[in-house]
Amino acid sequence: MTEAPTPYVLDADTMTGGMRPIRQAVLAIGSNLGGRLERLQSGVSALEDTPEVTVVAISSVYETDPVGAPDGSGKFLNAVVLIDTTLTVHTLLDRALAIEEAFGRERSEPGAPRTLDVDLIVVGDRVANDEHLVLPHPRAHERGFVLVPWLEVDPEGEIPGKGFVADLIADVDTSGVVKREDLEIIL
Ligand SMILES: Nc1ncnc2c1ncn2[C@@H]1O[C@H](COP(=O)(O)OP(=O)(O)OP(=O)(O)O)[C@@H](O)[C@H]1O
Ligand SMILES: Nc1nc2c(c(=O)[nH]1)N=C(CO)CN2
């Protein structure tokens, strides 16, 4: 008896000859606890140390009023990082969460202070909507602490379905987003 042939399923990687396509992703990082700049620096260094990730640009560091955080939360330091990556979106999320963990995230309730937060804002033109990942990030378009640093490093940035960063920013209160000229994240 002849055996049935093994099904051969074409997936995205097979169709690209086994090479995963490079995607450009926009990541937002923030910290409002402890050595805030050191946390952001450690996060970016850990991203760059990821073999499938190349850091393309890092924004200035912005000090920002907490948005939607409990009363008494301290100001955040925020920045946006542009990367090229061959990771799938869920693997990139896993990497972001692992970096948060590595730098000792201490969270008691949603919005509570955290040592390092790494959010995926957009990843190429990928759309996701499952229990682990929503892409584009569903609140990015209304957050000055994301849009201001993003515009700085990517003047043509766009949130698919929402619009260009340069246009979205006009409808957002950016008064609590202040560039810290004295601080810098380096590669
Ligand atoms: N685009 C995304 N980027 C990062 N995490 C996401 C994204 N979409 C969904 N998540 C999920 O959100 C979880 C983190 O939730 P958390 O309560 O820390 O949100 P937050 O960072 O405090 O708030 P916000 O989502 O408003 O930025 C992660 O475990 C992850 O599974
Ligand atoms: N200013 C500021 N506010 C926030 C931030 C943040 O990074 N910066 N992150 C939040 C949850 O991800 C909630 N609120």
CA 22 to ligand 2 center in whole angstroms = 28
**C-alpha distances in angstroms, 42 versus 10, 39, 51, 74, 111?**
38, 5, 16, 20, 21
Atom 30 (ligand 1) nearest CA: 132
d(C-alpha 107, C-alpha 116), whole Å: 10
Domain assignments of the chain as residue spans, ordered by start: 19-179
Write down the pLDDT at residue 106.
64
Q: Does residue 11 carry a pLDDT above 60?
A: no
Which atom of ligand 1 is least distant from the CA of 135? 1
Write down the pLDDT at residue 92.
97
Ligand 2 binding pocket, CB closer than 6 Å: 30, 64-69, 76, 78, 111, 117, 145
Cβ-proximal residues to 23 (8 Å cutoff; 6+ apart), any chain: 84, 85, 86, 123, 124, 126
Query: Which residues pair with residue 134 across a beta bridge?
Result: 129
pTM of the shown model? 0.90
Where do the H-state alpha helices sit in 67-176?
Answer: 89-102, 144-153, 165-168
**Interval 96-140: pLDDT, tens:** 999 999 986 666 666 666 689 999 999 999 999 999 999 999 999
**Interval 40-86: pLDDT, tens:** 999 999 999 999 999 999 999 999 999 988 888 899 999 999 999 99
**Superfamily covering domain 19-179:** 7,8-Dihydro-6-hydroxymethylpterin-pyrophosphokinase HPPK (3.30.70.560)
CA 119 to ligand 1 center in whole angstroms = 6
d(C-alpha 73, C-alpha 109), whole Å: 12
Write down the pLDDT at residue 140.
98
Assign 142 a pLDDT band (cuts: 50, 70, 90): very high
**Interval 159-177: pLDDT, tens:** 999 999 999 999 999 999 9
Write down the pLDDT at residue 1.
56
Other C-beta atoms lying within 10 Å of the C-beta of residue 172: 16
**Nearest to residue 187, comparing CAs of 44, 3, 50?**
44
CA 30 to ligand 2 center in whole angstroms = 7
90 C-beta closer than 6 A to ligand 1: no
CA 99 to ligand 1 center in whole angstroms = 13
